[in-house]
Amino acid sequence: MMSNLVFLPIFIPLFFGVLLVFFNKKRKFTITTSFFVVLLSLGISIFLTYYVFTDGPLVLETGGWSAPYGIVLVADQLSVIMILAVNIIAAAAAIFALTSVTEKMIHHYFYPLFFLLIAGVSGAFLTGDLFNLFVFFEVLLMASYGLIIIGGSKHQFRESVKYILLNLFSSILFVTTVAFLYSVVGTVNMAQLGERVAEVEQQGILTGIAILLFIVFATKGALFPLYFWLPKSYIVPSPIVSALFGALLTKVGVYSMLRVFTLIFSHKLELTHTFFIWVATLTMIIGVIGALSTSNVKLIIAYNIMPAIGFMLLGIGTFSAESIAGTIYYLVHDMAIKAALFFLVGLLAWHAGTSNLQKMGGYIKTAPLMGWMFFIASLVLAGIPPFSGFIGKYLLLRGAMDEGHYIAAGVGLLSSLLILFSVIRIFIGAFWGELKEDPQQKVKSSGLTASAILLAISIVLGVGAEWFYPYIQAAADSLIDPQIYIDFVLKE
């Protein structure tokens, strides 16, 4: 009976998302419902997290078909942590939506698409079936295709075409890879895949398939050299959509890598995982170069997604209990802080009436609260202690050092410094100095509230690391030993 709980984080946003399609002209009703839904799913995800950490993981066998035959939904420690993070982001986004979502956007189905996106992301985190993962990828991508073009401006169309084509191509590659894997191993259930791949000790062809899967997830997660679609397409939609994309979409790619390369393909570490460390290093370098290369404030934040993904991949590549814990910590931290930064930069761009840094200046006088929040967010992003970025980076870099990946760790440290430089540049340019142009719009308080909530969460995550670390460590331990996952899904 309790196992049905696993379905709720997908079902609630899906149901209300579909329901709200019929009420796109009723602004008040839609907004009230959206608050009800995000609070409901937040409550359920908190309960689910509590339940899994006290009573152990839950498995839902849909339709009563037992594990290798039916589709399973699995809520293990990692999944519930991700679900909780998604729902916190969704709640903050619902608050931010009050400032940024116009009447027109509601008419164009912003809320239904928003909830379908949440449903897709939650589904991707919960599924225990590789083909089902593809399906949930498509659900969230379809919602994101809708969200990215709301507004319908010229450059939105231009960038979304590239975004969609690239994601479509990687989805086709995903299906093909699943077909390859099915023909070799004869199953698409992740637990059974893990078991069977371990049995044959991941022979050559399976490593080839693993790399194909890596390419698929690397495209979704914007890793070097498959990142070029990301920065521009993330800055064209409305700030709330950028924030959702930056916080959730690339992270689904990272989560999938984390799952697949610990559970299934973890037997040829010297081939796959060493490769990951190099890709991670290059991603960090390219990301910070991108962030330093532009004076468009939104683009600076969008480029900053990449080094973060690089850090997480470094943890997967290092593959020790500590570095995996670091990856999970960093994943949660990055979801919160990227959403907060995209919110703040969106507010800043509205306030200034431009996103060009060179035309800004002196806004600390007109919007002091936003300025200082942005400053704190920059410190969190760069990983200054005691904020959450520091804990994640510390675990990741110490893990990498312990395993002897000194170059990657060094690049990580250097890129942190450059990340700080790239965001502080916004703070100095936009908030210090003389007021260059009068602000166009007042900063709305609900936008600041949403950012403040997320910032508070990152600060608590950092200061209270001692409380959260045992849970993260438990999730990492269950990933390092795939037999745990296999046993409770297949019930052996």
Partner 1 sequence: MEILMSILAGTLFAAGVYLILQKQLLKIVLGTALLSHGAHLFILTMGKLNRGAPPILEKGIKIYTDPLPQALILTSIVISFGVTSFLLVLAYRTYQSNKTDMMDQLRGTDDE
Which residues form the interface with partner 1 (CB under 8 A)?
131, 134-135, 138, 142, 145, 149, 152-155, 157-162, 164-165, 168-169, 171-172, 175-176, 178-180, 182-183, 188, 232, 294-296, 299, 356
- Residue 127 has φ and ψ, to the nearest 5°, of -70, 150
Of residues 352 and 397, the one with the C-beta less far from partner 1 = 352
Of residues 152 and 464, the one with the C-beta less far from partner 1 = 152
270, with CB counted inside 10 A (0-12, 13-18, 19+), is exposed
Of residues 93 and 264, the one with the C-beta less far from partner 1 = 264
Nearest distance, CB of residue 183 and partner 1, angstroms: 4
Q: Which tokens sit at 395? A: 């675990």
- The 8-class DSSP code of residue 227 comes to -
168-172, long-range: CB < 8 A, 24+ apart:
169/219, 170/215, 170/216, 170/219, 170/220, 171/134, 171/137, 171/138, 171/141, 171/216
Nearest distance, CB of residue 354 and partner 1, angstroms: 9
CB 346 within 8 A of CB 242: yes
Asked if the peptide bond before residue 225 counts as cis, ω within 30 degrees of 0, the response is yes
Nearest distance, CB of residue 69 and partner 1, angstroms: 9
Nearest distance, CB of residue 296 and partner 1, angstroms: 5
Nearest distance, CB of residue 121 and partner 1, angstroms: 17
Q: Which tokens sit at 454? A: 């997320």
Beta bridge partners of 75: 58
Of residues 234 and 330, the one with the C-beta less far from partner 1 = 234
Question: What is the C-alpha separation between 201 and 182, in angstroms, rounded?
Answer: 17
CB 464 within 8 A of CB 333: no
Nearest distance, CB of residue 425 and partner 1, angstroms: 15
CB 27 within 8 A of CB 111: no
Q: Residue 299: which of 370, 355, 365, 245 has the closest Cα?
A: 355
Question: What is the C-alpha separation between 329 and 389, in angstroms, rounded?
Answer: 9
Of residues 85 and 139, the one with the C-beta less far from partner 1 = 139
Of residues 155 and 442, the one with the C-beta less far from partner 1 = 155
Of residues 18 and 172, the one with the C-beta less far from partner 1 = 172
Nearest distance, CB of residue 101 and partner 1, angstroms: 22
Of residues 169 and 406, the one with the C-beta less far from partner 1 = 169
Look at residue 361 and give its three-state secondary structure.
Answer: coil
Look at residue 442 and give its three-state secondary structure.
Answer: coil
Beta bridge partners of 299: none
Residue by residue, DSSP assigns 284-298 as HHHHHHHHHH--BHH
Q: Which tokens sit at 224? A: 């070097």
Neighbours of 394 (CB within 10 A): 16
173, with CB counted inside 10 A (0-12, 13-18, 19+), is middle
Place of tokens 């589904």: 123
**Crossing angle of the two packed helices 110-126 and 8-20, in degrees rounded to 10:** 160
Nearest distance, CB of residue 488 and partner 1, angstroms: 23
Of residues 13 and 290, the one with the C-beta less far from partner 1 = 290
Nearest distance, CB of residue 162 and partner 1, angstroms: 8
Of residues 213 and 376, the one with the C-beta less far from partner 1 = 213
Nearest distance, CB of residue 452 and partner 1, angstroms: 29
Nearest distance, CB of residue 245 and partner 1, angstroms: 17
Nearest distance, CB of residue 436 and partner 1, angstroms: 16
Of residues 182 and 421, the one with the C-beta less far from partner 1 = 182
Of residues 11 and 228, the one with the C-beta less far from partner 1 = 228
Beta bridge partners of 127: 73
Place of tokens 């920059």: 378
Question: What is the C-alpha separation between 291 and 417, in angstroms, rounded?
Answer: 12
